[in-house]
Amino acid sequence: MVSMTSRPTAHSETVALTTAIKNKSSQTLLDFLCRRFHYHNRSEWAERIANQRVTVNDRQASEGQPLLAGDVVTYLTTPWAEPIVNRNYKVVYEDKSLFVVSKPAPLPVHAVGAYFQNTLMAMLRKDIPEAKDYQLIHRLDAETSGLLLMVKDRSLVSVLQKQWKALDTREPSPLAGEGRVRGDGAVELPDVVGARHALPESDGAVKLSGVVAAGPRACPPDVLVPSFVDVGARHALPEGGSVRKTYRAIVFGKFPDSQKRLEAPIALIKNGPIRMKAGVDWAKGKPSITEFELLETRKNFSLVEMKLLTGRTHQIRVHLEHLGYPIVGDKLYSGTDETFLHFYEKGWDDWLKEKILLPRMALHAYRLDFSHPGSGERMTLEDPLPEDLMNFWNGIR
């Protein structure tokens, strides 16, 4: 495990990114950098080590140097302008053990690619100092909005993680990948879209009503349970474990009301033009189950609710694309690789807007059902569609 911080240097044109190795490691310095930070390839990291831009414990290092617990790896780089994000997160529930936020989009959860300060966790640590000790139980993609659960008491982490493990979640590191063209011409999928191109400020940074941008808690400390949180509600345990994640999405096409469930195994697509893209693979995929409920259809668009019975990476997006109803605004799973490759090369423009309509995915983590790790009570937390998605939906006439 590593933690990453920045510190000023003697020269204003240099930024020091510092990573502390907390646990025992058997990796060399070069292997560690290549596996953990994908914004440079192996030869680029080797060149930076040779040029003394990477040090270990403030001393010159070699690429074959083994890393030990307690070592501090520092990378000296030049400052950069981070892409604009939606900073309007809000706290929707808090007690002595739990902390739940509504994450806007676009906003990455962790530092990745070109994002370092413009992340949810960096904002929380700045606004709420004690948040530095909060532990994330799951995560959302940068372009997915909605509920994100953390724990304050680390002794309860394992209790909640067992509920998520029962959902059979397999998610990559939040620090994986910037998105780059490799030597074979393939593009590696960024962990957050926008690492190379910032989304348009007018479309991507929507002001949510009733939200204080990157400020204090949305509800006073003595009012910790807002009206849309059902504490102690009686629910049957969902299939696959004691946590149920429900999403809502606006998709292209008239989604069939008869489509209630899809069991289609998912695996990474090998040898495709985009690395780290997943798809349905009946031969080698891992079991993946999504339940669907059609909420409403307007013209050639549908508002659909999805419940995850397994937790594969990009599961909802893969399943909806497989069925022929991709999510509005989804650059990667739009039904063709052309949209993502175009965004990687040229950014957000009129051509892409005509194809996918929105600069962010119309995907929202709407509801969480789980057992409280302290009391064992069943909890249901809901977060309505954000204003930008509601405006889009209500504009369909």
Last residue of a domain, one of 77, 109, 132: 77
Same-domain check for residues 133 and 10: no
* pLDDT in the model for residue 179: 30
Domain enclosing residue 57, as ranges: 2-77
Looking at this protein, which amino acid is placed at residue 255?
F
Is pLDDT of 139 > 60? yes
Q: What is the CATH number of the domain that holds 30?
A: 3.10.290.10
Contact residues for 153 (Cβ-Cβ < 8 A; gap 6+): 96, 97, 374
Same-domain check for residues 298 and 370: yes
Same-domain check for residues 62 and 196: no
Least trusted range by pLDDT, from 78-82, 170-174, 341-345, 357-361: 170-174
In a domain, 166, yes or no: yes
* pLDDT in the model for residue 166: 61
Same-domain check for residues 66 and 183: no
- Percent over 90 (pLDDT), the chain: 51
Q: What mean pLDDT do residues 276-288 have? A: 94
Same-domain check for residues 101 and 73: no
In a domain, 82, yes or no: no
Last residue of a domain, one of 28, 53, 77: 77
* pLDDT in the model for residue 145: 97
In a domain, 328, yes or no: yes
Torsion angle of alpha carbons 250, 206, 115, 129, nearest 10°?
-110
Same-domain check for residues 282 and 370: yes
Q: What is the CATH number of the domain that holds 170?
A: 3.30.2350.10
Last residue of a domain, one of 25, 45, 77: 77
As for how many domains the chain has, the answer is: 2
What CA–CA distances, in Å, run from 301 to 100, 291, 323, 391?
31, 19, 14, 14
Helix (H, G, I), strand (E, B) or coil at 327: strand
